Structure 1
Amino acid sequence: MTRVGQFLINFFLFVFVSLQGYSQQKYWVLFKDKELNTKAAISEKCKENRKTLGIPEIQASDFPVNKTYISQLQAQGISVINQTRWLNGISTYLTPSQLQYTKSLFFVQEIVPIDSKLILAKTSPTLEPLKSKDDLRVDFVMKQVGIEGFLQAGLNGKGVTIGVIDAGYYGVSESPALGHLFTENRILGIHDYINPKKTNHFDERETSSDFHGTEVLAAITGKSQDNKLLLGLATQANFYLARTDTGGREFRGEEDNWVAAMEWMDSLGVRLINTSLGYAKGFSNSKEDYKPEQMNGSTSIIARAAKMATEEKGMIVVVSAGNEGDDRDWRIISTPADVEGTIAVGATNEAGLKMGYSSIGPDFLDYVKPNVACYSLYGTSLAAPVITGFIACMLQANPKLTNKEIKGYLQKSSSLYPFGNNFIGFGIPNASKAIDLMQNPAREPLETRNITRTISVAENDQQVEIAVKEGETIAVFYKKTPFLVLSQDAQKVRHNSIVLKRNSKVKHTTVVTKEEVIEVIWL
């Protein structure tokens, strides 16, 4: 054979293989049943947690996926990327012919495409130090959530284990703010689902997003060596880390890695999870894109997994709300922030108003999303870890709290409660209020909790005047329903009052002052 002939054969073989690879699509393949005669894949710590929370120690979803089913698929050249016990299936790449074959199998319940856009917020936190009497320096958001309450109670996340699911941890070992995690052996384990063979998790950079998890980790637990500078609330917590997404040129969704990481952390007995990731629009095939109306807490596979984690496993899942607030074609939260049981975190400015980029809750949900919010200039990716640290302090105070109790106390301690909305949820949590609620859950009202009142404006009245201290800056939310915000603004009070005028589109107005929350109802 001539060299030209050999070249042509190799060339066409290369093209054929390339086209075969290009035609592959990533899917979930979910099975109808599973093996229940094997050992549940969970630790004793996981069982202990569930026993404490009063939920079944061993559940059907803890048992492995049926090996026979997997072997039959592998015999057809179908490789397994991830297995999921919770959803009972695998993720894999399928060619069109493999897809048709898989659909014909008697044990296959459902085949779902995985093809969605990962939403990562940029993270470049700038410390804005504020000095207190003891010269402790903290970022503005630490003051905003009332860090003094936790410090006075001696709460710093000690004894609490947090799972972080993110896009990379480049630079963790060199970060001065995270040095204590190594000197005190607080990183208990790490799993890289993008590159499982990787051993140098902190010093080897593969993509531009590999620092994202590092910044998130600092916002949960960061501090200086002399303890004079705090970046996070949970400075004494322990951590398991998972890398489930890459910021490289892979545009297909990697939700399967997220689900695998959740199952891994649950099996280890980790209850509190921070995931500053979200999935929204798709790229490759527009027919398989998520649509805004599908952010309903039950459509996406990742939402199904998050729902199982919160409802069946007792996990506390803190999720960034998303950064699509300025995107007119989307605007709303991404998944899994849409799941009712998760704690979705939005971002505010210094005045307590929603940041423009912060995603809002859809108008078709019958529950409030996001749940809470806090200050962040650089995306909800850095707001969520603040709340994760906040919750770690709550769990340190009372490890027996269920995820529903944690969520309830968190929301009740927040600045808008009980007048939550789809811009910032119930507002900005407060440490002292949360501690008070945990210690005295049935006692209302207390000085440390919100002072609230409702004003009903008669149909014939065109305005209402509300007394507020002169010089104070207040936040105002104008709503078409009790939950759905039309607009917001901050007002500087002059002459000891503000005047609100009737607007035919506005049915409710929430006024937030330093001392109280006022709900105006326009009859």
Structure 2
Amino acid sequence: MRFFVLCILAWLPLWKVGTVVAGLPVRPPGTPTVRKHLVYLRDKANTPYSLSAPQRFLTARSLARRTHQNISLLPRDLPVDPAYVAQVQAVAGAKVWYTSRWFNAVVVECDSTVLAVVQALPCVRSARTLNRSAATSAPLPVQAGAPVAARPAGTRADYGNAYAQAHQIGADVMHDAGFRGEGMHIAVFDGGFPGVNTGSVFASLYQQNRLASVYNFVGRDQNVYQYDDHGTLVLSTLAGNQPGVFIGTAPQATYYLFVTEEVASEHPVEEVNWLIAAERADSLGVDIINSSLGYNTFDAPSVDYAYTDLDGRTALSTRAATVAARVGMLVVNSAGNEGNNRWLYLLAPADADSILTVGAVDSLGTRARFSSIGPAADGRLKPNVSAMGQQAAFVYPSGAIGRGNGTSFASPIAAGLAAGFWQAHPTLTAQEVIDYLQRSASQATAPDNLLGYGIPNFGRAQQVAAGIPLPTAPVAGVGNLVHLYPNPVPAGAATCTLQLPAEWRAQPLEVRLYDARGALVSALTLPAPNAPTVQLPTTALRPGVYSCRVGRVGQPLYTVRLLRL
């Protein structure tokens, strides 16, 4: 677990709990080590579930989300075959914790001897060890919060210290327009939510019945109001709703609080908790997932990820986030706080395509030095956008207002903007919401791997959605300008023209096109044109928005946007 709070008020260290937990039983010498394992099953050939009867495993809200976005049900949506689960459970010493529809797998706790028996079952394809077992903390009592009087938000005084982060992205304008997240369902994955059940800033969640579900995937219970307070801080930037004290960016949304992070250790089991939580969110009909989490290094014996693994296809959590996006949820994830250390780059699952990865800026819009940079290992632009994560305001479990640094805060602040904008445009798909927010951002015409498309803004996104052209500027080349025209490219046009700076005309060029999800569409290496323009083929491009990255071979690439009608 890597919580993306770089520091709180600059004097607390990056959150990390030691692995010594008082009161845990000591394992006698020679006793096999019990670990959790992800056991992949062979198929779903004989499952009693059917895609023609999805109401057996998906709620009406989940199905409606798919229907609205024209997303078909696929075999991955089917639950695992219960007969296979029964076979695994029948092995003495094997404890099944969870099943995964998307990965067709079960999470099994057992020692290595039992695992060998499980792997020999005809229904099992393979297995991957996730962690060492660890006891969970005792739950704390749940208490009801006191109600607060509601009144419209809109003034600086209403937001308190949260004003700058809301105003920077136009969330205050969004709220005044009547879009505070009403009807939007947001799941927050984190390590604990102490004080949420007692804090005044969260009281309206209970008063208005907007806390739809809570679950602790570490302990398999509903004790979420304990453990680390990182989740509380993150949630406050979204759901805080105490006018005159603190208002988050989606103060009227409906929330789901899911604990996915182990307290005492760091292993890939947390990524599987993320997966299972995402499947739960999907089945319940959640619209948006906020995950201020990331993974790259683990405790022994688990193997660390390398930067080359952050290719959108390798990390467990990345694969889970990708499927979550494929089923129509908008996944918003912190980029990470690695920008000023040796790692530099984003962490999993921020490398997933089709999700909104968020970097951090300060109140003036300057990139926070700690904010992780892109690209993803396969060259895709990351982060997608950025929001305030340096000296961002939040609420402690005690109710005190604090400030801290981390993309942990940039992510939920941006997620609240996405919720309000989606509420304002309910016919959009999740991917269209991402596209509009990117097009609204401060450097939409010149995205880079530091801030992505820049800082999104509700007002500008409204203009884009209404078809009102935004003022744009071409991307600066080496002493000249890079242009693509005509842009938009008309339907049926076979080519578009790329105008080149003089410095590029005598060298081979590299051109890469990425679609709105960040997937690579084409990669071209062109011979030295020795001309001011070259023609790029567009016949194979479907209608949509593309990022065209172009430059001299072996040199940094510049990015310009291309719209295909």
TM class by shorter-chain length? 0.7 to 0.9
Do the aligned partners of residues 416 and 79 (structure 1) sit closer, same or farther apart at CA in structure 2, a change above 3 Å counting?
same
User: Could you tell me how far apart the structure 2 residues matched to 1:291 and 1:331 are?
Assistant: 12
User: Could you tell me how far apart the structure 2 residues matched to 1:24 and 1:319 are?
Assistant: 32
SS in 2 for 1:383: helix
Q: How does 1:341-360 map to 2 (within 5 A)?
A: 341-360=354-373
- Structure 2 residue aligned with 1:151: 175
Give deviations 1:295-332, integer Å, cap 9, x for gaps: 11110222222111112x1110011111222230x221
- Are 1:307 and 1:339, in contact at CA under 8 Å, matched by a contact in 2? yes
SS in 2 for 1:81: strand
Do the aligned partners of residues 397 and 98 (structure 1) sit closer, same or farther apart at CA in structure 2, a change above 3 Å counting?
same
User: Could you tell me how far apart the structure 2 residues matched to 1:133 and 1:190 are?
Assistant: 32
- Are 1:115 and 1:289, in contact at CA under 8 Å, matched by a contact in 2? no
User: Could you tell me how far apart the structure 2 residues matched to 1:509 and 1:89 are?
Assistant: 42
- Structure 2 residue aligned with 1:119: none
SS in 1 for 2:408: coil
- Structure 1 residue aligned with 2:352: 339
- Structure 2 residue aligned with 1:36: 47
- Are 2:158 and 2:247, in contact at CA under 8 Å, matched by a contact in 1? no
**Alignment partner of 2:442 out of 415, 426, 435:** 415
- Structure 2 residue aligned with 1:327: 341
- Are 1:419 and 1:482, in contact at CA under 8 Å, matched by a contact in 2? no
Structure 1, unaligned runs of 5 or more: 1-13, 117-130, 460-480, 484-504, 511-516, 518-523
**Identity %, equivalent residues:** 32
- Are 2:170 and 2:459, in contact at CA under 8 Å, matched by a contact in 1? yes
Letter in 2 for 1:413: S
SS in 1 for 2:166: helix
Q: How does 1:173-322 map to 2 (within 5 A)?
A: 173-199=197-223, 201-202=224-225, 205=226, 207=227, 209=228, 211-224=229-242, 227-249=243-265, 253-285=269-301, 288-311=303-326, 313-322=327-336
Do the aligned partners of residues 97 and 248 (structure 1) sit closer, same or farther apart at CA in structure 2, a change above 3 Å counting?
closer
Do the aligned partners of residues 482 and 75 (structure 1) sit closer, same or farther apart at CA in structure 2, a change above 3 Å counting?
same
Please state how far the C-alpha of 1:16 moved relative to its aligned partner: 7.2
Higher mean C-alpha deviation, range 136-145 or range 293-302: 136-145
Please state how far the C-alpha of 1:80 moved relative to its aligned partner: 1.0
SS in 2 for 1:374: strand
SS in 2 for 1:162: strand
Letter in 1 for 2:41: F
User: Could you tell me how far apart the structure 2 residues matched to 1:217 and 1:181 are?
Assistant: 11
Q: How does 1:25-104 map to 2 (within 5 A)?
A: 25-34=35-44, 35-38=46-49, 40-56=56-72, 58-76=73-91, 77-104=93-120
**Alignment partner of 1:20 out of 19, 31, 41:** 31
Letter in 2 for 1:162: I
Letter in 2 for 1:349: D
Do the aligned partners of residues 256 and 133 (structure 1) sit closer, same or farther apart at CA in structure 2, a change above 3 Å counting?
closer
Please, what TM-score do these two structures have when normalized by structure 1? 0.75
- Structure 2 residue aligned with 1:453: 474
Letter in 1 for 2:231: G
- Are 1:417 and 1:450, in contact at CA under 8 Å, matched by a contact in 2? no
- Are 1:353 and 1:424, in contact at CA under 8 Å, matched by a contact in 2? no
Letter in 1 for 2:186: I
SS in 2 for 1:452: coil
- Structure 2 residue aligned with 1:476: none
Matched, 1:376 2:389: yes
Give deviations 1:77-98, integer Å, cap 9, x for gaps: 2111221111111112343333
- Structure 1 residue aligned with 2:413: 386
Matched, 1:140 2:164: yes
**Alignment partner of 2:195 out of 161, 167, 171:** 171
User: Could you tell me how far apart the structure 2 residues matched to 1:134 and 1:95 are?
Assistant: 57
Please state how far the C-alpha of 1:257 moved relative to its aligned partner: 1.6
Do the aligned partners of residues 457 and 395 (structure 1) sit closer, same or farther apart at CA in structure 2, a change above 3 Å counting?
closer
Please state how far the C-alpha of 1:103 moved relative to its aligned partner: 3.5
SS in 2 for 1:234: coil
Letter in 2 for 1:27: H
Higher mean C-alpha deviation, range 299-308 or range 134-143: 134-143
- Structure 2 residue aligned with 1:467: none
User: Could you tell me how far apart the structure 2 residues matched to 1:372 and 1:343 are?
Assistant: 7
Matched, 1:111 2:127: yes
Give deviations 1:396-427, integer Å, cap 9, x for gaps: 11122111101100111111112111111111
User: Could you tell me how far apart the structure 1 residues matched to 2:356 and 2:439 are?
Assistant: 13
Q: How does 1:396-407 map to 2 (within 5 A)?
A: 396-407=423-434
- How many residues were matched structurally? 426
Letter in 1 for 2:109: Y
User: Could you tell me how far apart the structure 2 residues matched to 1:91 and 1:364 are?
Assistant: 29
SS in 2 for 1:451: coil
Give deviations 1:473-501, integer Å, cap 9, x for gaps: xxxxxxxx999xxxxxxxxxxxxxxxxxx
Do the aligned partners of residues 15 and 435 (structure 1) sit closer, same or farther apart at CA in structure 2, a change above 3 Å counting?
closer
Higher mean C-alpha deviation, range 187-196 or range 136-145: 136-145
- Are 1:320 and 1:381, in contact at CA under 8 Å, matched by a contact in 2? yes
- Structure 1 residue aligned with 2:493: none
SS in 1 for 2:357: strand
- Structure 2 residue aligned with 1:436: 463
Do the aligned partners of residues 132 and 304 (structure 1) sit closer, same or farther apart at CA in structure 2, a change above 3 Å counting?
closer
Higher mean C-alpha deviation, range 93-102 or range 264-273: 93-102
User: Could you tell me how far apart the structure 2 residues matched to 1:370 and 1:405 are?
Assistant: 17
Do the aligned partners of residues 16 and 140 (structure 1) sit closer, same or farther apart at CA in structure 2, a change above 3 Å counting?
closer
Do the aligned partners of residues 80 and 147 (structure 1) sit closer, same or farther apart at CA in structure 2, a change above 3 Å counting?
same
Letter in 2 for 1:218: S
- Are 1:295 and 1:334, in contact at CA under 8 Å, matched by a contact in 2? yes
Do the aligned partners of residues 171 and 508 (structure 1) sit closer, same or farther apart at CA in structure 2, a change above 3 Å counting?
same
Please state how far the C-alpha of 1:291 moved relative to its aligned partner: 1.5
Letter in 1 for 2:353: E
Structure 2, unaligned runs of 5 or more: 1-24, 133-152, 391-404, 481-509, 513-553, 561-565
- Are 2:265 and 2:299, in contact at CA under 8 Å, matched by a contact in 1? no
